[in-house]
Amino acid sequence: MASPHIVGIAALLKSAHRDWSSAAIRSAMMTTADVTDNADGTIVDMTFGISGCPLDYGAGHVNPNKVLDLGLVYDLEAEDYVNFMCEINYTSGQIKVITRRSNYTYSQANLDLNYPSFILLFNGTNTTSFTFKRVLTNVGTAESVYRAVLWHPKAMKVVVEPMTFSFGGKNSKAKFTMTVENDLSDYKEGYYDISLVMEDIAKFKLLFSVFLLSYIAISSSFAEEYKIYIIHMDKSMMPAHFETNHDWYTSTLSTLSSPEGIEPTHLYTYNHVLDGFSAVLSKSQLDELERMPGHFVTYQESYGKAHTTRSPQFLGLKKHSGLWKAGGFGDDMIIGILDVGIWPESESFKDHGMPPVPERWRGHCETGVDFNTSHCNRKLIGARSFSKGMRKRHLNISTTDDYDSPRDYDGHGTHTSSTAAGSPVSGANYFGYAKGTASGVAPLARLAMYKVLFLNDTYESAASDVLAGMDQAIEDGVDLMSLSLGFDDTPFYENPIAIGAFTAMEKGIFVSTSAGNGGPHSYTINNGAPWITTVGAGTIDREYAAQVTLGEHEAMFTGKSIYPEDLLISGVPIYYGKGNASKEYCDYLSLEPEDVLNKIVFCNFNNETDILSQLEEIQRVRAAGGILVTDSPLFLRPIDFNTPYVGISSTDGYLVRKYVKNAGDSAKVNIKFLITVLDNKPAPQVAYFSSRGPNHWAPWVLKPDILAPGVDILAAWAPNRGFAPIGYGDDLLLTDYAIVSGTSMASPHVVGIAALLKSAHRDWSSAAIRSAMMTTADVTDNADGTIIEMTFGISGSPLDYGAGHINPNKALDPGLVYDLEAEDYINFMCGMNYTKEQIKVITRRSNHTCSQANLDLNYPSFIVLFNNTNTTSFIFKRVLTNVDDSESIYRAVIWHPKSMKVVVEPMTLSFGGKNSKAEFTMTVENDLSDYKDSYYYIEDYGYLSWYEVNGKHVVRSPIVSAFAYGSGKPS
């Protein structure tokens, strides 16, 4: 990737200076290169996290603008390289292979090339010296005088003769010598460098820098590698004279030795999510720290990635009834969003009519690039950013495409925030599509942004930054958190979101996370800890379309299109390559530009065609547009519609073929874009990208928990960030509201609904809120069929959609809940064979025992894991809590496949009143004799539903049979 950048710059230089040799071009780039980064520090070696040297980066980082007018060059001719090869003892045959020459002699053999850099090799003697000879050529047009300026370490003596150079005009030359002498008595091994700088005396400007590097050839080891670590400490060991944990941590770091002169760097002190801090340490410093009293355990830094006008209506939210009314539209709830930042000027974050900020709020808005405290209001009440871990990985924040502040660089954080709690905005739309009033799920809730993702080479977030963001959110006083990001699937004691979410759960903070975009494969779930609500993505009942009219209204139909222009195609000829199969299917390189000029290309469909490849072919020949037959319109995204085309069904494709056959060369078409179709069926469907269960590390809990809208969701966007591609070039249209898909879009829907539930039921725990959402979820779509898995077009299972698609109004009044406390999760971790140390990392507790170890959590779903035996059974134990005000009786109703036997005892439960409890057991036995060994899950599942006798409540839970990943045993 680097080489083509250089050749491009060289092309610019060669065009500007046609008389320059290749050596002159290289010299120009080298002697004007930057040796500092954009933070004015020395260029860092990212492997070790320390300052690099010329053996890493050569003369420095190329600077195209400086290179244009540099003053002097070190030039070379072919003969100079031949003399160099002679000196390195190449034979005449070897030299001829390279040069094709035989008419040369060894009389001018010389290792000292007229090169724009210097290197002096030692052989382990105490002192050594070398005299370099160089010739500089003036490539400027004027006469000039230059003076040498040296920088070098104390152990090196450097003499340049002469120190001043005079040039008569363009192409004039001047010679100098440089003698370098080194005293190696204090050096065992290593390297060091000097700078030789030439200054134009008349212009007083730096024209070029040359780096001289001295390297000890016998060196066999390298500087220590510095890495970021998250250090857990035992608070009970803190000496009494320290007032705070922070003082103890920083004092501990200050006592560590620094043999290379690089002291430990403290990043964050964590006060809630864990007892400890993060820091940049060498391996020897870490070893020293781990031997100190109070050190508990250390984990190395890890990195994670980021995974509406209609969705509130699709969810059934109404102004004057149901959860919106009962939950006060989320009033007084504070939602913390951990994402890529926020665009505070968006209409979705206006605070018109909102009451004062709750007095319990302890957060604030920080000041940074293009962001200050005035950007916050009664809607956006807090905004902070966390980038220390990312920076220490030497991934600097882009100054052109990102902001060193809570401001959104991408649009993702603005989208998720406005989805969860955006204020109502009338007339919101995406270039005319989805026009209406955009509202967050909890429109009166408050928002606080914690920016933990920044634009860099990896698009990753650092665990230390995410933990710091969660820690601060807890300190600030949020009621709920949503994280539309995830880390590689690791044990919970290594996962920053799992660690931070446990403390949040203990403090009554509901945490919603995206399930990940790794579908449709099984065992791809992220964020699978049972104290987190894990959300998959589904479609909604809104589609985007264009209307197609053939000829003089011979046929009219609609097809999928999100082309972002109000374009009316009228009476445009249709091209169809009938009789030539490649042209009919728009195969690669099948179409001719002259045949399709100013025409709409019709592309037929078979099982081998790919609509995106067909679209590329249409774009290659610059047709006016296209009509493409497809069986997968749901898979088309807004960014696919940079040209005016429509995806139609095979039925409508037959109409086009029939019309073209009859009309011949006179076939014409009209197309009208910007059509929004509502009440589309079936919906929801499970998105193809939505990650599937079970969770690899804890398959004894069914994940995902629930499905929520996550496909083609309209919400606020960063208006300065190009979003919609248009035309055949690289142009992008700007928009205030964008249509985006991902489980990232699903999580904020759930956190918004949780805010409404928490507002309506202040005494409910996070587990109770999740239970209410799960046991009232819909398992059928709006066509009264089972929810479909869109990848294969077949019925999905709870491993795709969890308990079902969230239904906010039903969740308001669930009747019964499966509740959980922190101690239950600890017993679960004991059942997973987590060590006492690993449990303490997550819980910060040491006063627990594993006498109640249990993999059977009081969860609102059931999953049975098989190990490839012919039959297996499991007994689940559950406790239900009545959250209704009245006494009630519930009766169990079981639906299950023939291969599954389910027995519930007792079949009837009685509840005396609110908060009364009742226990039951459920035995599930499966016959696997008809199943072969499977690495993946099987499709057996059923439901246990508790029906209220003479009442309205139904409490439903899925029962799933799945093969364990590997052995299925806890590790």
**Residues designated catalytic:** 339, 412, 744
- Nearest Cα residue to 587 out of 563, 567, 566, 605: 605
CB contact at 8 A, 482 and 504: no
Beta strands in 234-301 (DSSP E): 265-270, 276-282, 295-300
Side-chain half-sphere of 15: how many Cα atoms within 13 Å? 6
Specify the DSSP element, H or E, that contains 80. Answer: helix 78-87
Q: How many CB atoms lie within 10 A of CB 201?
A: 13
Alpha-carbon torsion 187, 189, 190, 193, what sign? positive
CA of 233: how far to CAs of 237, 271, 503, in Å?
8, 11, 16
Please answer whether residues 631 and 792 qualify as being in contact, where contact means their C-beta atoms are separated by less than 8 angstroms: no
Closest residue by Cα to residue 448 from 362, 356, 569: 362
The closest of 804, 743, 754, 742 to 777, measured between CA atoms, is 804
Could you tell me which residues are beta bridge partners of residue 817? 881
Q: Fill in the amino acid letter for 250.
A: T
Residue 773 CB coordination number (10 Å) = 29
Q: Find, among 776, 548, 533, the residue nearest to 656 by Cα.
A: 548
β-pair type (533-538, 706-709): parallel
**Three-class SS of residue 648?**
strand
Cβ contacts of 371 within 8 Å, gap of 6 or more? 344, 365, 383, 403, 405, 406, 407
Measured CA to CA, the distance from residue 844 to residue 503 in angstroms comes to 9
| H-state helical runs in 370-510 | 388-392, 412-421, 463-476, 496-506
Rounded Cα distance between 260 and 251, Å, is: 20
**Strand, coil or helix: 665:** helix
* CA-closest candidate to residue 718, choices 354, 478, 371, 456: 371
CA torsion sign for 554, 556, 562, 568 is positive
CB 442 within 8 A of CB 419: no
> Closest Cα to residue 139, out of 70, 195, 77?
70
Tokens read off for 652: 């409508």
**Contact (Cβ atoms closer than 8 angstroms) between residue 766 and residue 510:** yes
Would you call 377 helix, strand, or coil by DSSP? coil
DSSP state of 223: P
Query: Residue 448's closest CA among 525, 361, 510?
Result: 361
Give the count of beta carbons closer than 10 Å to the beta carbon of residue 259: 9
How far apart are the C-alpha atoms of 896 and 876, rounded to whole Å? 16
Please name the residue that has the structure tokens 């104290």.
531
CA distance 217 to 90: 22
Q: Which residues 6+ apart lie within 8 Å of 84 measured at CB?
A: 110, 111, 113
**Tokens found for residue 966:** 């590997």
Alpha-carbon distance of 421 to 442, in angstroms, equals 5
Q: Angle formed by the axes of helices 496-506 and 822-831, to 10°?
A: 140
| Cβ proximity of 304 and 461 under 8 Å | yes
Closest CA to 342 of 382, 397, 387: 382
